[in-house]
Every structure is written in structure tokens, then in C-alpha cells.
């Protein structure tokens, strides 16, 4: 009897822990599927009846939502791609040289507030005449993605057994070949982790595009924030837009939770 009671209490504590997360997302979903009348009803209507897709149609119909979605895709993929291209070899080099001081420098990038990069970069991009293109946003997103990739890759390459590469070197391979054909294939799981994390934190980033984007170059978080400022109380479309922005990330988290947990616990990394 006491054991059963203990089990019940434990189940309850699990429920208490996960309910804030579940309830907020469900409420978001609920708001996005109700008409305006139900959304502003008091007491609140919890279960949408009738279910309406109007809010989603409305989001796609105006606000150039698709353009902003495309911007977000271009920025996140480019920033992640460039970060992988530069960061995977860098992580390898740092791990091989045991250059802990270089790794420390990357940690400093992790603790710097994103805003503090923006003043000089803003002035620089203005001077270069790049404002109004996606370039400034992609380049500034490297500030987030590159440290994540390097950090995850260092810990991953350090965990690889060195014997295989050494055997390749003894057989006459160059260090570049040893990296490309021995270490990199072995590190594929680590590259996946780095890729997922850097994509998510680039996708979620708000402040860089908030400052640097023009009308045509907004990313999704900026576009959604603008919806809030311009229409006070149309909760349905707002929730629909918010859900659409965060849905790719939530789905990715559900699919790749193992990799994400491994990567986050390895370095405690998080975007600027």
C-alpha cells in the first residue's frame, strides 16, 4: 500500500514537472484553432469548437509570411553550412593541438551578449552598403553557430581513439587525408549534433535580424514580433504565426532528442 502511494506521488511529481511545458504549447495550439470570439471569451474556451483553420489561412494570406519563412531558411542553412565548413576542421585542429586556450576564447564568445556585437557590425555593414541584403544577417549568425560547432566538435574529436589516424599517417597519408577519410567519417554523429544545435539556435535568433533586417529581409521571429506591435488583439492569427515559427524546431527536438541532449550536456552550449 505504501509503495503504491509512493508510486502515485512520484507519477504526480512527473506530471507537475511536465505540465507547464505541455499546457503552454497546448494553449498556443488552442488559440490558433479558435475564432476571435472564442479567443477573447471569459471564462476561456479551452477546446476549439468548431475548429477553424481561418487563422492559418490569414497568416499565409498576408504579411509576406512565405517570404520571411524563405529568408529564415536561407539564413539558418547558410549560417549552419558555413559554420560546419569552418568549424569542423577547427575543432579537429584544436583537439589535435590540445589548444585549450583557443577553446577558452570560444567560451568567451559564448558569454558575450549578442547585442554587444551589433553596434560595430551595424556601422560596418552600413559603411559597406550591405544593409537590405541577407548577407549581414548570415554573417552575424556565424557569431552563434561557429562557437557551437567548434565547441561540440572539440569534445567529439577528443573522444576519438587516435590509433586509426596514426595508422593512416604511418601508411603515408597526409594529415589532411587522415582528417578527411578517417577522422571525419568517425565523427559523423558529432557533426549531426553540431548541425542540429547550430540550426536551431540560428533559427530562433531574434536580435540580429531585428536590428539588421530591412522590410524585405526579415526573418520569421522578427516578422512575428512585428505582428504583435501592429495588431493589438487578434490572438488567433498571432498564435498561428507563433506556432508556425517554432514548429520546425519543436519537431526537430522531438525527432533528435537524443543528439540534442548529448550536445547540450557536453558543452552547455546555447545561442547568444
Query: How big is the site for another protein, counted in residues (CB under 8 A)?
Result: 93
Q: How far is the C-alpha of 160 from the C-alpha of 31, rounded, in Å?
A: 48
Tell which one of 1, 5, 9, 18 touches another protein (CB under 8 A): 18
105 belongs to the binding site for another protein (CB under 8 A)? yes
Which lies closer to another protein via its Cβ, residue 160 or residue 264?
A: 264
Q: How far is the C-alpha of 191 from the C-alpha of 210, rounded, in Å?
A: 29
To another protein, the closest distance from the beta carbon of 270 in angstroms equals 7
To another protein, the closest distance from the beta carbon of 5 in angstroms equals 15
- Which residues in the 178-237 window bind another protein by CB under 8 A? 179, 200, 203-204, 206-207, 211, 220-222, 224-225, 228, 235
79: Cβ–Cβ under 8 A, 6 or more apart, which residues? 138, 141, 142, 144, 145, 198, 202
Which lies closer to another protein via its Cβ, residue 134 or residue 200?
A: 200
Per-position x/- string for 131-160, each x denoting binding to another protein as judged by CB under 8 A, each - no binding: --------xx-xx--x---x----------
To another protein, the closest distance from the beta carbon of 116 in angstroms equals 4
243 sits in the region (left: phi over 0; alpha: psi -120 to 50; else beta) called: alpha
51 belongs to the binding site for another protein (CB under 8 A)? no
Inter-CA distances, 199 with 147, 189, 235, Å: 13, 15, 28
243 belongs to the binding site for another protein (CB under 8 A)? yes
92 belongs to the binding site for another protein (CB under 8 A)? yes
CB 152 within 8 A of CB 263: yes
Which lies closer to another protein via its Cβ, residue 31 or residue 134?
A: 31
To another protein, the closest distance from the beta carbon of 53 in angstroms equals 19
Amino acid at each position: 500500500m505504501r509503495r503504491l502511494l509512493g508510486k502515485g506521488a512520484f507519477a504526480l511529481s512527473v506530471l507537475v514537472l511536465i505540465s507547464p511545458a505541455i499546457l503552454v504549447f497546448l494553449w498556443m495550439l488552442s488559440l490558433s484553432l479558435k475564432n476571435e470570439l472564442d479567443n477573447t471569451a471569459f471564462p476561456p474556451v479551452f477546446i476549439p469548437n468548431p475548429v477553424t483553420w481561418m487563422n492559418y489561412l490569414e497568416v499565409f494570406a498576408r504579411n509576406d509570411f512565405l517570404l520571411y519563412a524563405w529568408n529564415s531558411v536561407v539564413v539558418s542553412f547558410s549560417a549552419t553550412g558555413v559554420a560546419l565548413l569552418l568549424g569542423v576542421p577547427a575543432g579537429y585542429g584544436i583537439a589535435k593541438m590540445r589548444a585549450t586556450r583557443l577553446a577558452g576564447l570560444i567560451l568567451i564568445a559564448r558569454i558575450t551578449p549578442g547585442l554587444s556585437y551589433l553596434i560595430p557590425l551595424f556601422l560596418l555593414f552600413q559603411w559597406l552598403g550591405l544593409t537590405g541584403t541577407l548577407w549581414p544577417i548570415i554573417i552575424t549568425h556565424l557569431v552563434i553557430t561557429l562557437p557551437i560547432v567548434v565547441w561540440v566538435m572539440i569534445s567529439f574529436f577528443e573522444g576519438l581513439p587516435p590509433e586509426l589516424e596514426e595508422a593512416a599517417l604511418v601508411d603515408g597519408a597526409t594529415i589532411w587525408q587522415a582528417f578527411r577519410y578517417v577522422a571525419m567519417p568517425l565523427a559523423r554523429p558529432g557533426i549531426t549534433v553540431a548541425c542540429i544545435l547550430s540550426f536551431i539556435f540560428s533559427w530562433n535568433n531574434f536580435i540580429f535580424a531585428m536590428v539588421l533586417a530591412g522590410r524585405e529581409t526579415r526573418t520569421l521571429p522578427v516578422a512575428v514580433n512585428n505582428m504583435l506591435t501592429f495588431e493589438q488583439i487578434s490572438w488567433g492569427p498571432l498564435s498561428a504565426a507563433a506556432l508556425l515559427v517554432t514548429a520546425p524546431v519543436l519537431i526537430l527536438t522531438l525527432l533528435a532528442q537524443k543528439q540534442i541532449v548529448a550536445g547540450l550536456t557536453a558543452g552547455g552550449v546555447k545561442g547568444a
